[in-house]
Amino acid sequence: MTDEKKKAMNRLQTMYPLRALIDEMYKRSVEAGKAGKPTAWCMVNWWEGDPIVKAMGMETVYPENYGAACAATGAAQAYLDRSDSDGFPTHMCGYARNCIGYTARMMELGEIPPEAPMGGMTKPMLLVGAGTLCDARYKWFQVLGRYLDAPVWMLEIPHPGVREFMMEGVSEHNIKFIVEELREFVTFLERLVGRKMDWDKLEEITDDIIAINRLWFEINELRKVRPCPMHSRDFWTCMNASLYPSGDLKVSLDLYRKMYDEVKSRVDNKIGSVADEKYRLVFAELPPWHSLRFFDQLAERGWNFVIESWAYHPPKPIDLSKVSDPLERIARHTYQWLTGYFENAFNAGEYWGYFAYPYLEYAKDYKCDGAFLHPLLTCRTATNHLMLVHDRLMKKLNVPSLVVEGDIVDLKLFDPVDAMRKAETFEEIMDHYKKVRREKGFDW
């Protein structure tokens, strides 16, 4: 990257300490492993299981994040090849194949592979699966049984964006279900770790997570203004402390506070995250971790990414202070995440379908000129609905979408030259629809 390229995108200073938390997460779990302390690999579970595992004193890492890390450092290819030659179909989730390949190699060596980025993931005592949102996340930890003797606990949760959940009484039995699930989980962990749950600690951790998410939500609300003060790249870097709540949560909370202040001061001083904001875009779904520099090139052309995948975002804040049982507080917090983004759709009597509606709200609230859709050749879940998003944004809001195929891990599947050619053309399209929206009386 040349210097003026660096200048095109204006990264937040408060992002760097938050980014550092990730390295610490891996370091801590490796040390815990060495010290024979309990460790777990977790699927992102949207705070359903995290506080419980944490309260039981387990150090956690998140193989999905590790997939991104391996992709970013170029280590992924060897692990993908390994899973491939072990007979797993190549269309399967890149994160999963990376994790399978890594595990196979680690168990073969009997130690963390020397080439493993971030110091590697230590052999876990427990695998916490969470099927939320995607089949892969139900299946992949079970598959690791081929290589690991670590037991799997599968967290179950109702699915987001289901209209039937708006029927009377349904939400309550859904919550009841989650709470029952979590109770079973606690008893299991007590048996596994040979220690009783410290309920006060659980309550404290839960509240810290809720506080972190509330603050993180407020930060992203600030991005609605012109010019947008925070680019998706900063979001993707900083979401970790919310999505992977490991380590000292008080520290994370404090870092988010500092971040809020920086973003707020940018808003007050009309400082944008790209030098000259010409186009505001919403991104869906998972970014090409191996090619993030692509966004710097787009920043030079005045593209600002002002909002992204709702599934990475915290729940819309609700008051849970009256909920006494910490397990129920956890359940309601996560349930709010998986229903909150759809309520307006259903209340408006519109049927949108899971994943599509939030982008409509985003495009409106964040005044987007276009959507950048990134279909993944190895991830059905983040891809299935993109045609629908494309179609609805145009029909309802005259907001065009740019579709660029790629992958989260396998960089062979992303072609920056071709992407740039499409992007340049897309500018003309965004200009065109800006006119159209004006004619039709939209306010952006």
Partner 1 sequence: MDGGGRIHARVVSHTGAEHRRLANKVMEEVLEQANLPFDEISYIIATGYGRMNVPFADRQITELSCHTKGVVSLYPNVRIAIDIGGQDAKGLKISDGKLIDFVMNDKCAAGTGRFLEVIASALGLKVEDLGSISLKSTNKVNISSTCTVFAQQEVISRLSEGAPLEDIVAGLHDAIASRVVKMVKRLKVEPDVVFTGGVAKNVGMVKTMKDNLGCEVSVPEDPLLTGAIGAAILGKEITLKAMAKGEFIPRKERRLEEVTFFK
Partner 2 sequence: MSVKNRNKGLTRVREIYQDRSCRVKELKAEGKKVMGYFCIYSVLEMMTALDLVPYRILGDIREPITKADACLPTVVCPFVRSCLDLALKGKYDFLDGVVFGHVCDVGEKTAHIWNIYLNPPYFHFIDTPHTVHKAAVGQHKELLKEFKKTLEAFTEKKITAVGLKKAIKAHNQQRALVRELYELRKPDPPLISGIEALQVMVALVSLPVEEGNELLEQVISEVKQRKDGPQKKPVRLLVWGSIIDDTSLIEMIERLDANLVMDDTCVGSRAYWSGVELTKDPLDGLAYRYLVQLKCPRTFREVTFGETKKDYMADLEGRFGYLRDYAKEWNAKGVILQSVRYCDIHGYEVPGVKDYLDHVGLPNIYIEHSYTEAALAPLRTRVQAFLETLG
Partner 3 sequence: MAWFMGIDIGSGTSKGVITKDGKPKAYHLLPSGVNYKAVAQKLRQELLAKVDLSPKDISYTVVTGHGAGSIPFGNQQVADIRCCARGINSIFPSVRTVIDIQGMSSQVIRLNEEGQVTNFAVSERCAAGSGRFLEIIANVLRIDLKDIGSLSLRSKHPVAFTTGCAVFGESEAISRVSEGISKEDIVAGAHKALANKISTLLDRVGLEKDCAISGGGGLNTGLIKSVEEKLGIQLLVPPHPQFITALGAAIIAEERQNHQKG
> Residues interacting with partner 2, by CB under 8 A?
86-89, 91-93, 96, 129, 131, 134-136, 138-140, 142-143, 145-146, 148-154, 156, 158-159, 161-165, 167, 170, 173-174, 177, 180-181, 184, 188, 191-192, 351-356, 375, 377, 380-381, 383-388, 391
Q: Does 405 bind partner 1 (CB under 8 A)?
A: no
Binding segment toward partner 1, per CB under 8 A, in 7-15, 83-91, 281-289, 389-397 = 83-91
Q: Which does 158 bind (CB under 5 to 8 A by kind): partner 3, partner 1, partner 2, none?
A: partner 2
Q: Does 108 bind partner 1 (CB under 8 A)?
A: no
In the shown chain, the binding pattern of residues 386 to 415 toward partner 3, with x for contact by CB under 8 A and - for none, equals -x------------x--x-x-------x-x
Q: Which does 272 bind (CB under 5 to 8 A by kind): partner 1, partner 2, partner 3, none?
A: none
Among 31, 86, 204, 350, binds partner 1 (CB under 8 A): 86
**Secondary element (H or E) of residue 425:** helix 416-439
- The site that binds partner 3 (CB under 8 A) totals a number of residues, namely 16
Closest CA to 77 of 408, 414, 411: 411
Q: Which does 323 bind (CB under 5 to 8 A by kind): partner 2, partner 1, partner 3, none?
A: none
Q: Is 353 left (phi over 0), alpha (psi -120 to 50) or beta?
A: left
Q: Which does 431 bind (CB under 5 to 8 A by kind): partner 2, partner 3, partner 1, none?
A: partner 3
Place of tokens 């276009």: 370
The DSSP bridge partners found for residue 214 are none
Angle at CA of residue 194, ends 27 and 333, nearest 5°: 65
Q: Does 288 bind partner 3 (CB under 8 A)?
A: no
DSSP string, 51-68: HHHHHTT-EEE-HHHHHH
282 with 306: CB under 8 angstroms? yes
Max CA-CA distance within the chain? 67
Q: Is the peptide bond before 204 cis (omega within 30 degrees of 0)?
A: no
**362-376 residues labelled b (16+ CB within 10 A) or e (exposed):** bbbebbbbbbbbbbb
With respect to partner 1, which residue has the nearer C-beta, 44 or 71?
Answer: 71
AA identity, residue 46 = W
Q: Which does 93 bind (CB under 5 to 8 A by kind): partner 1, partner 3, partner 2, none?
A: partner 2
